[in-house]
Each structure stands twice: as structure tokens, then as C-alpha cells.
Amino acid sequence: MLVLFYLILFNFFVIFVKQFMERFTTKDLEELPSRQRAHLINSISGYKSANLIATRSEDGVPNLAIFSSVVHLGSNPALLGFVMRPIGVERHTYDNIKSTLHYTINAITKEMYRDAHHTAAKYKEHESEFTMTSLEESYKDGFQAPYVKQSPIQIGCRWVNEYPIEENGCILIVGAVESIYVVPELLHSDHWAQLDRMDIMTIVGLDGYALPNLEDRLEYAKPNQSQNSILNGSQKD
């Protein structure tokens, strides 16, 4: 009888713990040490894209840096954006893009992530992260910025515009896609890229690297219609 009582009590405890959620108000966030606030805010919005942005200075020095803010802005015309931190300090990627207008975006795989993370280190302007890591430059079809040879998705972009984020001094850079190189194995017949086929990673916060597994692909959502899988065959209409 006593065992049953404790069992019920334990179950209530488990239910309570599962429902408990920690709350952080604006004031709590302001009072958190800056490192903890950054970890929390950087990770709670979800998994982020993992890319290396490669550029070349006017003097010919290649530069490589990791970015987790690359985002699709639209497909017609094909536009990709990314967020640049405030430019009060040396920002080689930004300087090179502004002076040459060209840069490449390269997906990060499981084999590349340690080197990719290392590109966040603050090297001098004349030092190239390509030399400091095993990541290799590759120049293609006359494009002036280097691609990352090991990357299964390499995108050549041209700067078209930028928008200041007045609240924090960051800048949203908008780039037009000029070339896409992709390993054919990634593409389904409808050109949808299955990123997990080549272990393309995702970023959590500023230091977590994860490998997602595709669960399913669903057909275009329509009212009052159940969601069918299209993973093994693309949608008819």
C-alpha cells in the first residue's frame, strides 16, 4: 500500500517537473552575465545554417569566416542574406565584399566543422584562414572570390544591397546568387537538396554543431487535406 502511495507521488512529481518551465523576463535577461545571455538568445531561436563565407581582398589575400546567419531571402530573383556583426572592429569579410562585391557561401560538413569553427579566430588582414586550416581554395569560371574545395554546396554571390539594423548596429547583407555548384548526389529529381546525404551540419548558438536527419518531406499544405509524404516521389501539382 505504501509502495503504491510513493509510486503515485513520484508520478505526480514527474508530471510537475515536465510541466515546469523556467521564465526569463526582459529584466532577467539584462541582468544575466553577457556570456550567458548570448548563449541563451543565440540558441533558442533554433538550428541555424552552417556556412563559410570566402572572399579575396583587392590585394589578393583570401579570407574565410564562419557564419550562422545565412538565410534564403527569395528565389526569384535568387537572393541570399546574412547578418554582419557591427563593423567598429576589423571585419575582413565585410571589407572584401565592399571592395570587390563578390563572395562565396560554402556549406559546412561533418569533416569540415572543426576547421570551419577555427575561422572565427581573429587573424590579421594579411593572414589567410585557408593557410591556417586544411580548407582549400578553389577558383572557378573566372569568379574572383574563392570557393571552399571540400564543400558539397558552393554558391557564388554578388553584393546587391545592405540594410542597417539600427537597434544593434548589425548589417543585413543581400546577395544575388550568380553560380551554384552542388554535388549531384544531394539533389532529388525536383532539385530539392537533401542535405543529410552529405552530412551537412547545422549550428546551435555559437559553438554547437549538430547533424540533422531528414524525417520526411510533405506535400504543399491545403485546407482540410491531410499531409501526405512526398519523400519518395515529388508532388504532382
Ligand X SMILES: Cc1cc2nc3c(=O)[nH]c(=O)nc-3n(C[C@H](O)[C@H](O)[C@H](O)COP(=O)(O)O)c2cc1C
State the minimum distance, in angstroms, from the CB of residue 77 to ligand X. Answer: 22
> Which of 54, 80, 84, 135 is the binder for ligand X (CB under 6 A)?
84
Residue 69 or residue 179: which is nearer to ligand X going by CB? Answer: 69
Stretch that binds ligand X, among 23-31, 88-96, 145-153, 193-201 (CB under 6 A): 88-96
Contact status: 158 vs ligand X (CB under 6 A): no
Q: Provide the CB-side half-sphere exposure for 168 (13 A, CA).
A: 6
State the minimum distance, in angstroms, from the CB of residue 117 to ligand X. Answer: 6
State the minimum distance, in angstroms, from the CB of residue 141 to ligand X. Answer: 24
Q: Using an 8 Å Cβ cutoff, are 122 and 90 in contact?
A: yes
Stretch that binds ligand X, among 27-35, 81-89, 156-164, 189-197 (CB under 6 A): 81-89
Stretch that binds ligand X, among 30-38, 103-111, 114-122, 140-148 (CB under 6 A): 114-122
Residue 27 or residue 122: which is nearer to ligand X going by CB? Answer: 122
Of the candidates 56, 52, 53, 50, which has an alpha carbon nearest to the alpha carbon of residue 128? 56
In what helix (H) or strand (E) does residue 7 lie, and over which residues does it extend? helix 2-19
Spell out, one character per residue from 165 to 204, where the chain touches ligand X: x when CB under 6 A holds, - when not. Answer: --------------------------------------x-
Of the candidates 118, 92, 103, which has an alpha carbon nearest to the alpha carbon of residue 148? 103
Report the alpha-carbon angle 174-152-116, nearest 5.
Answer: 70
Contact status: 206 vs ligand X (CB under 6 A): yes
Stretch that binds ligand X, among 33-41, 61-69, 192-200, 210-218 (CB under 6 A): 61-69
Contact status: 66 vs ligand X (CB under 6 A): yes
> Which of 40, 78, 83, 230 is the binder for ligand X (CB under 6 A)?
83
Pairwise CA distance, residues 103 & 54, whole Å:
6
Contact status: 69 vs ligand X (CB under 6 A): yes
Q: In Å, how far are 63, 94, 227 from 224, measured between CA atoms?
A: 51, 47, 10
Pairwise CA distance, residues 13 & 19, whole Å:
10
What's phi and psi for 74, nearest 5 deg? Answer: 170, 155
Pairwise CA distance, residues 197 & 215, whole Å:
13
Binding interface with ligand X (CB under 6 A): 63, 65-69, 82-85, 90-93, 117, 120, 122, 203, 206
